[in-house]
Structure 1
């Protein structure tokens, strides 16, 4: 793959400070290689600027460079096939935009490139009225035909975002400023799902797959300049940005590729970078006491969980799965592994803030005595041997969680062995469609709800695909929820699914994640993203 090169003087000095070994040691950004996704609650900031640093308003024109420590090499610059946060953090909000998006810091949808949108009562037809005068970075006009082309490309590219779009949809683009979408069956999640669908320039689409992966062109507040492997991705302010007022205030964004966590923190402390995302709980606590730093915490649309393979004996015994859930002290995990700051208790298979989220009414909460009773009822000989896996390639406390769970399980008669596996192997095992047993019984990972709703995970059949769970009741409820418009009836269906999942326990939610980020105190206007992962930098500026 070939990318535009920049002269060495264009690269931030931080790269000169990092060893080649550290720069090339890449790590994945999503738990268990899985990133499926939804809304978070507003965040809070900890720490403050030094007392002698006065506040200042945003500049009248773009100025200054914001340097962001990117935790991994981008796998692609095609927004339809990105699979990690390193890609999305560069492309989403900055280069590419959507018809609708979530209002910053909330789980409320609002128009973006659409001026307004509406659906028929049965949700079989959706109408999006488009903004006029919007241009793509390469000068192409933004029209209904360009939206249709982007949707069709996403659907046919085999990437992740195309799965969120309806099957067998008809697009009426006879009016260049109105997109009408009709479907043979109801599609109540259309607005949520198109929020995850980024819109590409028609000229870029015409240039083909290679161009799409190398030189992205959207309508966003920043436009692509260059990518240098193992070094940086550079964006610059879009002088023709359609949204007048409110940014962009920065002249340039530099995403510096620094895979090693310790190196990212060192670069932040030295001032070689301005912003680090996805801190460890320990680093967030340490940086909180630094007057030159601001640490932000906000609830993410992500849950940390233990995926269980329900057709791999003895995990096919529901009593064993329930016992394991009752053996895990989630509060202790949050206190010890997460330093009390990295997550909040939750028993739901859906992340808090996501449409469809409800805590189950009869969850298998921490109760060691009940765990022992369930194991006795299971008919299994104790200690029951099982194995779970984690990956050191994945950012997050996977190993610490797995080891802590092992200790808790052994206290109730489950002999739990922990395996370290490459992230790619975890993903392969997770997505295996074969009906037979898997090489171990479960794995520590995460799920991020990127569309703002739980229904897409039901549509993609996540539970049977990942956990081998084939339950007729959940299947029937899932079909109903996908065809029922938003409202009380749909919320009751989500509640029924929630309680059924809690009873069968194919996945044990450990906690709802708290996103931890830190930036230099002179960085202003940074708002932690509502999905807990991917910020936008249009409103960010550097105080003088």
Structure 2
């Protein structure tokens, strides 16, 4: 914004980094070095006093980063940008508890169909306007209705009315009870913007940083919001994101000092980074899982026996050992992490069993199966290599898999949710609640139902579980939902992968954050830079 002053003691912005230059750096630095890196010295640095100023630079995946509208984002660039520019009603703390943000407090009436949120006073948008209930109501309603294209549309579908009770108080009425409703407002889609706002090339929020430039698919920059309402947050003077979809280019950029932060580090590179002296590695065990989604609308994947054959045809342990280097846990074709309180501990593990896979193919009337699997580094580094491990294991079961390595650019837009594709690879970072996770991916009307799977019984139980306030009954329902997904859905989930981030030595304030990578996507307002 032209009327805002640059914070004091902020050095001039470094020359913009080109992607070509970084690819050249990747060739120069390579990944074959035997040098290691720095482990995170947490105790000593935790006592440091945060410093202000400096430019924080990050290499971010962003093959589909063509919009600033958080409702429409489909990649990591959009998530990180949302938490840099905007605030939300609530936030997930580093320990995965729910904390107030723009809502100071909230309370549900009996039955959890009616909620009152008390909003924080004195918060200013980047353009100087004061946030009120009208802004929050507009921001929520953007995700509602038939015309909405928002990724949060399914989460907001149960809202019947958002009512203004006062200048800083709203009431939300739901069609059915939802004990997890406040959690739904923590997601990046649910950013709070001014009433009527729609100029997404120049986004306006209440967050710690004001966006100063945006080149879709290339880069974006921010300056610190001098009127930020949070004390002890948003320390750096400037933030720069560069779209870097090439895994080696991201690591080379960190090694050369051209960027300060990157997430989704390839596990193969971890030991090298730890020994290089040019990086700090932060490992967080969370809800990230890798997925293969078979298109349940296409034959023969519309047959549950074919889907079960695919689940027995993958060697999960080999993927964990060879690709993740032990930085994760075995998956079991359902999306709830073992660290979640609602994890179904009685669900039997699906083993790698070629003979059982052949049995299920015969039950489907097939002697064998051939399919095309689309992979891309847009999902995670080495996605094609994991696909090859799947191919090798599945051969023993009479399943032929042609692994197609698709370009990162355009993968999410053109391949991933394309109903003509047989099977696609994906990556999910988890969600704050089991309901949010299942409503986003597995419900019949889920916006990102990558397997095109639908089960009316599943959908019915999901709605009931959402409204159930008795913890024991809710747990029983969510256990059953996991069982249905495990046995019937079109997902093969081989592993849960730890979040692995890497930072330059000058970045301070780091801590493991199990909710998402790069400190729950909130690293820009939580870290600071050493002199």
Deviation at 1:263, TM superposition (A): 2.4
CA distance in structure 2 between the partners assigned to 1:303 and 1:107 by the alignment: 17
Label 1:448 to 1:84 Cα distance change in 2 as closer, same or farther (>3 A).
same
Deviation at 1:154, TM superposition (A): 3.4
Deviation at 1:365, TM superposition (A): 2.1
CA distance in structure 2 between the partners assigned to 1:361 and 1:231 by the alignment: 44
Q: 1:19 maps to what in 2?
A: 21
**Per the alignment, in what secondary structure is the counterpart of residue 85 of structure 2?**
coil
Match of 1:530 among 514, 517, 522: 514
Deviation at 1:12, TM superposition (A): 2.3
**Per the alignment, in what secondary structure is the counterpart of residue 386 of structure 1?**
strand
Q: 2:39 maps to what in 1?
A: 47
CA distance in structure 2 between the partners assigned to 1:411 and 1:493 by the alignment: 36
Q: 1:407 maps to what in 2?
A: 392
Q: 2:183 maps to what in 1?
A: 192
**Per the alignment, in what secondary structure is the counterpart of residue 387 of structure 2?**
helix
CA distance in structure 2 between the partners assigned to 1:399 and 1:77 by the alignment: 30
CA distance in structure 2 between the partners assigned to 1:258 and 1:311 by the alignment: 34
Q: 1:36 maps to what in 2?
A: none
> 2:86, 2:193 within 8 Å by CA — same for their partners in 1?
no
Cα deviation digits, residues 460-482 of structure 1 (max 9, x gap): 75467543434343233223223
Q: 1:458 maps to what in 2?
A: 439
Match of 2:117 among 111, 128, 150: 128
CA distance in structure 2 between the partners assigned to 1:348 and 1:17 by the alignment: 37
Q: Which stretch shows the higher mean deviation, 417-426 or 110-119?
A: 417-426
Please, which runs of 5 or more residues in structure 1 have no aligned partner?
1-5, 24-44
Cα deviation digits, residues 494-539 of structure 1 (max 9, x gap): 1111112222242111111211111112211023443323233223
**Per the alignment, in what secondary structure is the counterpart of residue 502 of structure 2?**
strand
Label 1:150 to 1:365 Cα distance change in 2 as closer, same or farther (>3 A).
same
Match of 2:504 among 495, 520, 525: 520
Structure-to-structure mapping, 1:435-514, within 5 angstroms? 438-440=420-422, 442-455=423-436, 457-458=438-439, 461-462=442-443, 465-485=449-469, 487-514=471-498
Q: 1:222 maps to what in 2?
A: 209
Cα deviation digits, residues 167-222 of structure 1 (max 9, x gap): 452222131122111123223331111111544342xx44x52x2x1222222222
Cα deviation digits, residues 381-417 of structure 1 (max 9, x gap): 2x33333222355443221121111111111222333
Label 1:344 to 1:171 Cα distance change in 2 as closer, same or farther (>3 A).
same
Label 1:339 to 1:128 Cα distance change in 2 as closer, same or farther (>3 A).
same
**Per the alignment, in what secondary structure is the counterpart of residue 148 of structure 1?**
helix
Q: 1:32 maps to what in 2?
A: none
Q: 1:117 maps to what in 2?
A: 106
> 2:435, 2:462 within 8 Å by CA — same for their partners in 1?
no
Residues 1:339 and 2:325 aligned together: yes
CA distance in structure 2 between the partners assigned to 1:331 and 1:392 by the alignment: 21
CA distance in structure 1 between the partners assigned to 2:217 and 2:477 by the alignment: 47
Q: 2:97 maps to what in 1?
A: 108
Please, which runs of 5 or more residues in structure 2 have no aligned partner?
1-5, 26-36
Deviation at 1:163, TM superposition (A): 3.6
Structure-to-structure mapping, 1:409-428, within 5 angstroms? 409-421=394-406, 424=410
Q: 1:70 maps to what in 2?
A: 60
Label 1:199 to 1:16 Cα distance change in 2 as closer, same or farther (>3 A).
closer
CA distance in structure 1 between the partners assigned to 2:369 and 2:211 by the alignment: 55
Q: Which stretch shows the higher mean deviation, 521-530 or 490-499?
A: 521-530
CA distance in structure 1 between the partners assigned to 2:124 and 2:176 by the alignment: 33
**Per the alignment, in what secondary structure is the counterpart of residue 396 of structure 1?**
coil
Cα deviation digits, residues 49-74 of structure 1 (max 9, x gap): 69xx98873346x2222111233363
CA distance in structure 2 between the partners assigned to 1:130 and 1:355 by the alignment: 30
**Per the alignment, in what secondary structure is the counterpart of residue 214 of structure 1?**
coil
**Per the alignment, in what secondary structure is the counterpart of residue 235 of structure 1?**
strand
Deviation at 1:377, TM superposition (A): 4.6
**Per the alignment, in what secondary structure is the counterpart of residue 126 of structure 1?**
strand
CA distance in structure 1 between the partners assigned to 2:253 and 2:370 by the alignment: 44
Label 1:16 to 1:187 Cα distance change in 2 as closer, same or farther (>3 A).
closer
Residues 1:182 and 2:173 aligned together: yes
Q: 1:261 maps to what in 2?
A: 247
Q: 1:165 maps to what in 2?
A: 156
**Per the alignment, in what secondary structure is the counterpart of residue 521 of structure 1?**
coil
**Per the alignment, in what secondary structure is the counterpart of residue 282 of structure 2?**
strand
**Equivalent residue pairs, number:** 499
Label 1:17 to 1:149 Cα distance change in 2 as closer, same or farther (>3 A).
closer
Larger RCO (alpha carbons 8 Å, 6+ apart): 1
CA distance in structure 2 between the partners assigned to 1:354 and 1:527 by the alignment: 20
> 2:432, 2:515 within 8 Å by CA — same for their partners in 1?
no
Match of 2:88 among 93, 98, 102: 98
Match of 2:370 among 362, 366, 385: 385
Deviation at 1:18, TM superposition (A): 4.1
Deviation at 1:265, TM superposition (A): 1.7
Question: Scaled by the length of structure 2, what TM-score is found?
Answer: 0.84
Residues 1:304 and 2:306 aligned together: no
> 1:231, 1:257 within 8 Å by CA — same for their partners in 2?
yes
Deviation at 1:368, TM superposition (A): 3.4
Q: 1:236 maps to what in 2?
A: 223
Q: Which stretch shows the higher mean deviation, 224-233 or 305-314?
A: 224-233
> 1:304, 1:511 within 8 Å by CA — same for their partners in 2?
yes
> 2:67, 2:216 within 8 Å by CA — same for their partners in 1?
no
> 2:443, 2:459 within 8 Å by CA — same for their partners in 1?
no
**Per the alignment, in what secondary structure is the counterpart of residue 142 of structure 1?**
coil
> 2:102, 2:119 within 8 Å by CA — same for their partners in 1?
yes
Question: Scaled by the length of structure 1, what TM-score is found?
Answer: 0.82
Match of 1:367 among 353, 363, 366: 353
Deviation at 1:310, TM superposition (A): 3.2
CA distance in structure 2 between the partners assigned to 1:108 and 1:55 by the alignment: 20
**Per the alignment, in what secondary structure is the counterpart of residue 503 of structure 2?**
strand
